[in-house]
Every structure is written in C-alpha cells, then in structure tokens.
Amino acid sequence: MLGLKGKVAICTGSGRKLGLGAAILRRLAAEGCDVVVSDLGTPDRLLASGDIGASDEMEAIAAELRGLGVRVLVIPCDVRSEASVQNLIGRTVAELGRLDILVNNAGVGYLLKPFIDATLEEWQLVLDVNLTGTFLCSKHAARHMRSAGQGGRIINIASQAAKTGFAHLAAYVSSKHGMVGFTRSSAIELGGDGITVNAVCPNHVTTGLGAKQNEYYAKVRGQTPEQFMAAMRQRIPLGRPGVPGDTAAAVAFLASDDARYITGEAMNVSGGEETH
C-alpha cells in the first residue's frame, strides 16, 4: 500500500520486544521492507541489562519478523561508536544490497533526577546516545544513500520532550530538542539528494523506558502509578497515551512515497497533547 516493498530499513535500538523500535520494524516488515534489528546487545556500565536490547531478545524479534516473509538481519551496534555505526551500515548494504530507510530510535531516557544532582557522566551518556548517535548514524547512512543516488529516508525518533521542558529530565529534553535542530539542518543538506529527514515526536508510551518514567513521576507527585496515568488520560484530547503502533504508523508514512515532499518536520504523535 505504501510502496515500501523491497526497501531496506535499519532501526537502531530495536532490540526490546515492547519498545518503539521493534514496533517500527514490525510495521515496516508488514509493508514488505527487509529490515535490520540493531541494539547494544550487551549491558553497559550505566545501562543495566534489564534496560537494553540484549542479544537473545534481538534474535527473538528477528525470528518474529522473518515470519512476515521478509529478510531480516541482526547487527549489534553501539550508536556512540563511529566504528560500530560504520559496521552497521556497511554490513546492511553488503548483505541486503541497499539502504533506503534509517530510523534513529536508540535512546536513553531513564536517568531521572534534578539536573543539579546529575553527574557529568550521566549527562554525557544521554547526549552521546540520543544526539551524537543520531549524528553518526545519519552521517554514514547519508553517505551511502548519496553515493547510491536513489534518495532515502532518515527518521529521527525525538519526543514531546523535543518541544516542551520536563523537570528531572534535563539531559533527555536537551538531547531531544537537539535532535529536532539536527533534523532541520540535515534536511537542508540532503534535500538535493532526494533524501528526506524528519523527526517524530511521540508523547508518553508505556514501553520499558516509559514505565520507568511513570513510576518515577508518580512517586515525586505522591500519586500511585494508576492516579498518575488517570491524570495523563484526562489531559490528552484523544483520551489515552500513545501505543507503539501510533509511532510506527507515523514512521511508515514518512518512509513512504506519499511523504516525498515532507522534510525537516518534527511531527507530533501525541493525541493532541502537544500542539507546537
């Protein structure tokens, strides 16, 4: 339907079953894309094993996606490392023959504390994964797309936190605002190559990351998680928080030929909660 059959897509940070990345790949694979599941694979000093896409979880997602009849690769990648990113792009092109769509989804959003208590190391981790990782992956994907001469799509998973400030999430909010700036600048540079660059800005989705944020904010406000969620539903015009399929649908549209004249945008997927 969307003209995506036979395209090749990478989504970073897509190794968690309940995460937005896996949902994005499910949707792109259902549209006929060959896809690359990519995530850290092994825990990091600041990222616990329960918070990252581990190797066995990546393999399980890949097996599920192969059931949709498309080709699927699993390529571990730490988006903070340029060598790791070059390996991700290089292997994708070598083994799947092309690269049409890059989704920059890898993110860290659960270092929740007042900024005056955050360490430089924590601040740097969030900026490195969310913003520098987006730069590195975009750089190497765009170099390939430019030399292949067939255009392309780069889609950056930003956040409502790219438009609005949130207490105790200063590094995250700063990195997501930065992703929108990078989206706008890179869209200008790549327009002549037929490569569009857009950001998607979801509001709350109860993934692993989202659940941690709920627990934290409910505690800070002296609410139960249920009371916190009820208040959230009340302020969202469409009456519910996001689900992973909402973000995945926006990504599929932006990846499609129907979105060929849209670039440099930061598109809200927030049930009306975010309006600018």
Q: Does 129 bind ligand NAD (CB under 6 A)?
A: yes
Please name the helix (run of DSSP H) or strand (run of DSSP E) that holds residue 215, with its range, or none: helix 208-220
Give the residue with the Cβ less far from ligand NAD, 118 or 260: 118
229 within 8 A of 241, measured Cβ to Cβ: yes
Minimum CB separation of residue 215 from ligand NAD in Å reads 13
Letter for the amino acid at 238? L
**What span, in angstroms and rounded, lies between the C-alpha atoms of 66 and 79?**
24
Give the residue with the Cβ less far from ligand NAD, 47 or 262: 47
Letter for the amino acid at 12? T
Please name the helix (run of DSSP H) or strand (run of DSSP E) that holds residue 178, with its range, or none: helix 170-190
Residues involved in catalysis: 172, 176
Q: Does 78 bind ligand NAD (CB under 6 A)?
A: yes
Count other C-beta atoms under 10 Å from residue 228's C-beta: 19
Give the residue with the Cβ less far from ligand NAD, 50 or 149: 50
- Which positions from 176 through 205 interact with ligand NAD, judged by CB under 6 A? 202, 204-205
- Which positions from 221 through 250 interact with ligand NAD, judged by CB under 6 A? none
**What are the tokens at 134?**
């987006």
**What are the tokens at 56?**
């066995």
Residues 6 or more apart whose CB falls under 8 angstroms from that of 244 comprise 18, 19, 20, 22, 23, 24, 205, 207
Give the residue with the Cβ less far from ligand NAD, 64 or 193: 64
Select from 4, 7, 11, 15 the one that contacts ligand NAD (CB under 6 A): 15
Q: Does 274 bind ligand NAD (CB under 6 A)?
A: no
Give the residue with the Cβ less far from ligand NAD, 194 or 208: 208
Please name the helix (run of DSSP H) or strand (run of DSSP E) that holds residue 255, with its range, or none: helix 244-255
Q: Does 209 bind ligand NAD (CB under 6 A)?
A: yes
List the x/- string, 159-178, binding to ligand NAD by CB under 6 A. Answer: x-------------------
- Phi, psi values for residue 183, rounded to 5°: -60, -50
Planar angle of CA 236, 157, 216, nearest 5 degrees: 55
Binding site for ligand NAD (CB under 6 A): 12-13, 15-16, 19-21, 39-40, 47, 52-53, 77-80, 105-109, 129, 157, 159, 202, 204-205, 207-210
